[in-house]
Amino acid sequence: MTQATEKAPPTLAELEGKVQRLDAQALKDGQAALDAGKAFAAAVKSGDVDKAVELADARAKANATLGKTQSQLKTATSAVESATRSQNAGKIADIHTAMASDAAVNGFMDALDKLGCKWTKIERSEETGKLIINSPETAPRKARASSNGGSRGTASWEVDGQSFTSRELIEAHADMLTDKVREHFDSGNFRAFSMTREAERIHGLLTSGN
């Protein structure tokens, strides 16, 4: 009796090679679809119905081929990203461990902890390349009573037992806005962004604990 052997999963290099091949194929298929479309348009313009019908079929096949290649490329690209994350998981865990035991990092966290900040978010600005560090405020602003008794549809957010409207939550944590939204908010251009959506994002950051 012959025992079937399980095929080993593709390596990251093999997956990357597949992406390169599919990327090149997508370019070829895209050009073929473009040419087929031009040929069909020319036949329609000439009034040759039989030729137009023939080329319509060719155009449909070219577009279908392009769509299939693009779908395969998307799947292969996702596989590369997944394999890369898996390959780097151990290295990332080691960096996290090193940061957690670093005296300087612990010193900053101890200082923030004394101010009531239980977590800190660190990210790198895509615009400047500099680190951006945010922590929740130690004493969130209390909600102000609405001057009109409250308006229909106004969102309410609760943080540490305090209730905020969307605008109040944004005002209390304006440092958590992106630079572009902060610019609109400070200038009073509230139509340029969704205040409810920004409040929802900030509320998620404040209550997620990560």
Sequence-distant (6+) residues with CB within 8 A of 29 are 62, 65, 66, 69, 70
pLDDT digits (tens, 9 = 90+) for 181-209: 887 777 777 777 888 888 888 888 887 75
What is the value of pTM for the model shown? 0.48
Which parts of the chain fold into alpha helices (H)? 12-46, 49-101, 103-114, 166-172, 179-187, 195-208
Q: What is the mean pLDDT of each run of 10 residues along the chain (210 residues)?
A: 68 91 94 92 89 91 93 92 88 92 93 86 85 68 41 64 82 83 78 84 76
Q: Which helix (H) or strand (E) holds 139?
A: none
Q: Where are the domains of the chain?
A: 12-101, 134-147+154-208
